[in-house]
Amino acid sequence: MRVYNFSPGPSALPLPVLEKAASEMTNANGTGQSVMEMSHRSKDYKPIIEKTESVLRELMNIPANYKVLFLQGGASLQFSMIPLNLAAGDMPGKGKKTAYIDTGIWSDKAIKEGKKYAAVEVRASSKDKAYTYIPDAPAAAADDAYYHITLNNTIVGTKWDKLPDTGSVPLITDASSNILSENIDVSKFGIIYAGAQKNLGPAGVTIVIIRDDLIGNTPDWVPITLRYDTHAGEASMYNTPPCYSIYMVGLVLDWVKGLGGVDAIAKLNMEKAGLFYDYLENSKMFYSPVEKRFRSLMNIPFIMTEQDEAKKTELESRFVKEAAAAGLINLAGHRLVGGMRASIYNAMPIEGVKALINFMKKFEG
Ligand SMILES: *Cc1c(COP(=O)(O)O)cnc(C)c1O
C-alpha cells in the first residue's frame, strides 16, 4: 500500500512519475541501458537534459536572457555560491555590501554563510515572533550587490505575499519549497534557486535560474566548481552532473505539464491548502500559528491548543504515531520548532489532504 507522505523533503513524488521511471529502469528509450548507466556526454543522455531544461523554461516562462543550471551541493551550496560569485572581493573576506531578510532558519543559514565572503546587512527579521510572519522589507540601497529572500519558509510555513522593491539591485531567492507550486515572475529576479527534493524530483540536483549579466564577474580565487561562469560556459557539463536526478526532474515536469501547467497546479494547491487551513480555523484541538496573509500553500505547521505542556507532548507524540499507523506519515514538526507540520507539495493528491483532515477530526473525538 502507498502511504500519504507529508515529509518536508525529500518528499513524495507523483505515482505516475515513479511508474514511468520503473518502466524505463533497465532499458530507457530503447537504448538497452538505464539512464544511470549513460555517459553524460552521450547522444542518449543529451536529449534528456535538454528536454528537462526546455520544459522547465516553458512551464516557468523563463526569459531567454537567463541560464538554467543543474548543480550539486543542494540549496545550501547556493548560500555560499551567491556571495562568492556576486559579492566577494579580490581577496577572501573583503566583500561588497549585500542585503538579506531573515524569515527563518534557512534565511539564517544563508546569512551566516554570506558573512564569510560579503558585507551582509540584515535589513529585517521576523525572529521576534518565532518567524510566524514576513517582516516589512525596506527598499534596496542602490549600491547593494544583491538582495536575498527565502520565498517560502519550509520550517515555519510562511511565504512572501508581495516582493520587496529592489530597483535595479538583483533580487535573489531561495524557492526550494515552492518552485512550480504557483506562478513566479522570473523576470523580477536575478537568481532563483531550488533544491529538487521538495517539488521537483529526488535529492541530488539543484536548479539555478540566473540572469546572464550576473555571470562572469567572479574573482579569480573562487574555486572552479563554485563559479557560475564555469557551469554556464559548459551547459552544466563542466563535470559529471547528477544525471539520474535531472532525468527524474524531467519526468516530474512532464507530469506538471500534463496536468495543465503551473496555473492548473496552483489552483489545485490553493484548494488543498484552503481545505486544510479551513479545518484548522474551526478545530478546537489544533491551530495554525502563522499570520493569515503569509500562510504557505506548501508547508502547514499546526499546534495543539492544549496548554498543559506534559499533556501536549503526550498528545503530539500519540498523534504522530497514530497518524503513521493510519498511513499518514512524517507529520512531526521540524526538530527545532516542534508541533506538527503537513508538507503538501505538488505531488500530494487532494485525497491525501482529505484523509488527513478526516483523521484529525476523529482524533479530536
Ligand atoms: C530544504 C531547504 C533547503 C536545504 O536544501 P538542501 O538541498 O538540503 O541544501 C534550503 N532552503 C529551503 C527553503 C529549503 O526548504
Q: Which of the four pLDDT bands, split at 50, 70 and 90, describes residue 335?
A: confident
Kindly give the number of the ligand 1 atom that is closest to the alpha carbon of 154: 15
Reply yes or no on whether the pLDDT at 336 is more than 90.
no
Whether the CB-CB separation of 132 and 290 falls below 8 Å is answered with yes
Report how far apart, in Å, the C-alpha atoms of 312 and of each of 74, 282, 339, 361 are: 35, 19, 9, 17
Per-residue pLDDT of 92-126, as tens digits, reads 877 999 999 999 999 999 999 999 999 999 999 99
Pocket of ligand 1 contains residue 225 by CB under 6 Å:
no
Query: Measuring from atom 10 of ligand 1, which residue has the nearest CA?
Result: 75
Query: Measuring from atom 7 of ligand 1, which residue has the nearest CA?
Result: 74
Whether the CB-CB separation of 197 and 11 falls below 8 Å is answered with yes
Cα distance between residue 353 and residue 344, in whole Å: 8
Q: How remote is the CA of residue 77 from the centroid of ligand 1, in Å?
A: 10
Architecture of domain 261-364: Alpha-Beta Complex (3.90)
Cα distance between residue 224 and residue 185, in whole Å: 30
Q: How remote is the CA of residue 271 from the centroid of ligand 1, in Å?
A: 25
Kindly give the number of the ligand 1 atom that is closest to the alpha carbon of 197: 7
Amino acid, single-letter form, for residue 219: P
Nearest to 68 by CA among 83, 52, 82, 80: 52
* SS3 track for the chain: CCCEECCCCCCCCCHHHHHHHHHCCCCHHHCCCCHHHCCCCCCCCHHHHHHHHHHHHHHHCCCCCEEEEEECCHHHHHHHHHHHHHCCCCCCCCCCEEEEEECCHHHHHHHHHHHHHCEEEEEEECHHHCCCCCCCCCCCCCCCCCEEEECEECCCCEECCCCCCCCCCCEEEECCCCCCCCCCCHHHCCEEEEECCCCCCCCCCEEEEEEHHHCCCCCCCCCHHHCHHHHHHCCCCCCCCCHHHHHHHHHHHHHHHHCCHHHHHHHHHHHHHHHHHHHHHHCCCEECCCCHHHECCCEEEEEECCCCHHHHHHHHHHHHHHHHHCCEECCECCCCCCCEEEECCCCCCHHHHHHHHHHHHHHHC
Per-residue pLDDT of 301-330, as tens digits, reads 999 999 999 999 999 999 999 999 999 999
Instruction: Output the nine-digit C-alpha cell for 288.
Output: 495554525
| Structural domain spans, the chain | 19-258, 261-364
Instruction: Output the nine-digit C-alpha cell for 345.
Output: 507539495
Residue 324: its pLDDT value, please? 98
Q: How remote is the CA of residue 364 from the centroid of ligand 1, in Å?
A: 33
Given ligand 1 and candidates 106, 113, 205, which is best to mutate, with the most ligand atoms within 8 Å of its CB?
106
Given ligand 1 and candidates 176, 191, 193, which is best to mutate, with the most ligand atoms within 8 Å of its CB?
176
Q: How remote is the CA of residue 299 from the centroid of ligand 1, in Å?
A: 13
Report how far apart, in Å, the C-alpha atoms of 364 and of each of 260, 285, 332, 360 are: 37, 6, 17, 6
Instruction: Output the nine-digit C-alpha cell for 193.
Output: 534557486
Cα distance between residue 201 and residue 248, in whole Å: 6
Kindly give the number of the ligand 1 atom that is closest to the alpha carbon of 203: 7
Strands 191-195 and 171-174 come out as parallel
Q: Which residues are catalytic?
A: 106, 174, 198
Cα distance between residue 287 and residue 301, in whole Å: 9
Q: How remote is the CA of residue 232 from the centroid of ligand 1, in Å?
A: 22
Pocket of ligand 1 contains residue 202 by CB under 6 Å:
no
pLDDT, mean of residues 165-186? 98
Per-residue pLDDT of 197-244, as tens digits, reads 999 999 999 999 999 999 999 999 999 999 999 999 999 999 999 999
Kindly give the number of the ligand 1 atom that is closest to the alpha carbon of 151: 13
Pocket of ligand 1 contains residue 107 by CB under 6 Å:
no
Pocket of ligand 1 contains residue 75 by CB under 6 Å:
yes
Residue 214: its pLDDT value, please? 98
**Which CATH code is given to the segment(s) 19-258?**
3.40.640.10
Q: How remote is the CA of residue 203 from the centroid of ligand 1, in Å?
A: 10
Residue percentage of the chain with pLDDT more than 70: 100
Pocket of ligand 1 contains residue 176 by CB under 6 Å:
yes
Pocket of ligand 1 contains residue 150 by CB under 6 Å:
yes
Reply yes or no on whether the pLDDT at 64 is more than 80.
yes
Pocket of ligand 1 contains residue 359 by CB under 6 Å:
no
Pocket of ligand 1 contains residue 103 by CB under 6 Å:
no
Q: Decide: residue 221, CB within 10 A, 0-12 exposed, 13-18 middle, 19+ buried.
A: exposed
Pocket of ligand 1 contains residue 53 by CB under 6 Å:
no
- Cβ neighbours of 346 (radius 10 Å): 28
Distant-in-sequence, close-in-space partners of 317: CB < 8 Å, separation ≥ 6: none
Residue 356: its pLDDT value, please? 98
Nearest to 62 by CA among 171, 203, 184: 184
Pocket of ligand 1 contains residue 154 by CB under 6 Å:
yes
Q: How remote is the CA of residue 108 from the centroid of ligand 1, in Å?
A: 12
